[in-house]
Chain A
């Protein structure tokens, strides 16, 4: 019996599938077909493309092998790429750090203070995340409009208040100027994603057993101590995940700066992100090879940063 067992196990595999045997494969096939068509193929094609010079309007025949020339061009010659990278990192830090530094305490606050109202408040914080980024960007450009915007009229209005008036500008701020556009974009991005992070942290908080806090209270730990020694360590896995999402999302930042700067990157390219630069290289300059190479360089950067993040935050087992 035991000697015959292997033959029994192998035989069905050799048997040709017929009729109902196909069913499971048919049912899982849509995903694989779609993934191959719209996921895997473009991915591989982009690798191939990044070693070519190609103006797509000339058709597929016009692809010309140039080796790593696209990469060397970007790294050594492409000033806009470096500028865009600087902007992206700037925006990533300025919008990403506060997302967590405010999101986490906010989640703690919602968790401990709000009772029945919590879900409503969470919903309000989450709302920006599910709103169209195009709509958000358009609304914010209107709010930050130089001559007619609500932000400027508030700021200049405040400058007339007696004691703290000197803190505010008396003149309308031109938010399109290089020194203002980055903070403005960072603010919009932060505003949009802080709710998402709060919800994630809140979900993690809710999984922490109440017993731990009760025990800590019995031992005489203050709230701050409880936060520092119970909440934070137990939130670490979630922090790792959220920070990873933020890194990936921020390095691919596109919609908000694209719409706020009208697609141009703004004065002195101060609002140009790497993703925008890639888009512009591809669709404005019609240089798809270089655009693909930019995409892969960004990918490499994301990998490096995620690995670093992994070293810093991921729980060691």
Chain B
């Protein structure tokens, strides 16, 4: 008796759910993201619900590294895939080449029509090897030079001394070290990291050429290594790795005078790295006329996703809707990839943490000058190997030419396929 009742109940339940889907009640799309991008999604849901009452959005948020590992395993097995997949720039190359993401340049998406709406370089990062578009950029990280105004004043260094050229940056560093004892920069590797990214033309790769050959022994890398070596020899680097204890303590105690990174670092400094240094920092363009990007996020649709049309609508809303991008900009200080949103008056507002400087204007200039470089699946790998060789040059006095040749061999070996 009991059994038949349960059966009936189950039958009814199945029928009702069938009926619901027929009458077009809510479709649920899953969005997988990581902090703090997930906050942008969360903020967008209520407004989106008003526009599309028939779509429910389920947000699954994991820590940064866990999210990308989870996405890798989901792609591997083709199961548990979200409808909208957030990707950080460090992973976009790998995922774009995997073939597991929808080509958004093709119908029914036709995303090529939006291409000019976004920062050029960000779109280039999401291009597939066959020229397709794997993802749509949502926020970008224009690179900037953050420096301690008070320390520079003490050392008698002006902003233009910092930005004029790399040589003058290093010279200023010596003055800072001599008069205040503070390190000019956390790690000499920062210099190298920016130099290899500067003065690239559109379509050029950082580590690989068009044919996928490693080009880490080019003059660009030699010069970058030389600069880092000079800075290290001058003792103006703190030999401090980013995100370490030393790093945040160094900021708190004013032991690190400048840091080159994505403009979003100002937000991190303000919220947890060194809130006590409020008003002491300023932002400037990178030395030597360099423009580079740090970070940036994208949304993609896996080929095996369940609700592609709904996912695409939501991605369009998150990325191309001006009001939505501005909300994220204001709320999270996520620099919008959408060019229209960059003209929001919020850009002209003074940044209190940077002593009231209208720094976002500066970042917008940078965002528009960053070259649209070519990303390669093995960029992260190459970066790692080059960094390891640079450490040998700095710490063990390895010959630069030799180090770069070794790096090239190692990259070719490891990216063997």
Contacts and interface: CB of A to CB of B under 8 A. Distances in A.
Nearest to A261: B241
Contact of B384 (A178, A268, A284): A284
Interface in B236-258: 239, 241, 243-246, 249-250, 255
A145 B99 CA distance: 44
B78 A285 contact: no
Contact of B95 (A57, A79, A145, A283): A57
A264 B99 CA distance: 28
A268 B391 contact: yes
Interface residues of A, number: 31
B77 A58 contact: no
| Interface size class of chain B, counting residues whose CB lies under 8 Å from the partner chain | 20 to 34
Given A145-B249, A177-B395, A286-B94, A60 B78 contact: yes
A285 B381 contact: yes
B75 A57 contact: yes
B69 interface: yes
Nearest to B391: A267
B396 A77 contact: no
Contacts of A283: 69, 72
Nearest to B409: A79
A79 B413 CA distance: 10
Contact of A147 (B75, B78, B243, B249): B249
B78 A59 contact: yes
A284 B241 contact: no
Interface string A139-163: 0011001111000000000000000
A56 B395 contact: no
A229 interface: no
Interface string B368-395: 0000000000001100100010011001
A177 B76 CA distance: 38
A231 interface: no
A262 interface: yes
Given A268-B395, A269-B388, A73 B416 contact: yes
Contacts of B413: 77
Nearest to A142: B245
Contact of A286 (B72, B249, B384, B392): B72
B76 A57 contact: yes
Contacts of B98: 55, 57-59, 62
Contacts of B201: none
A263 B246 CA distance: 16
A102 to B, nearest CB: 29
Contacts of B396: 268
A214 interface: no
B320 to A, nearest CB: 26
Given A177-B395, A268-B388, A268-B392, 14 more contacts: A57-B94, A59-B99, A60-B78, A73-B416, A77-B416, A174-B239, A176-B239, A176-B241, A178-B395, A262-B244, A267-B391, A267-B395, A269-B388, A285-B381
Interface of A: 53, 55-60, 62, 73, 77, 79, 141-142, 145-148, 174, 176-178, 262, 264, 267-269, 283-286, 288
9 contacts: A146-B239, A147-B249, A148-B246, A262-B241, A264-B384, A267-B391, A268-B391, A285-B414, A288-B76
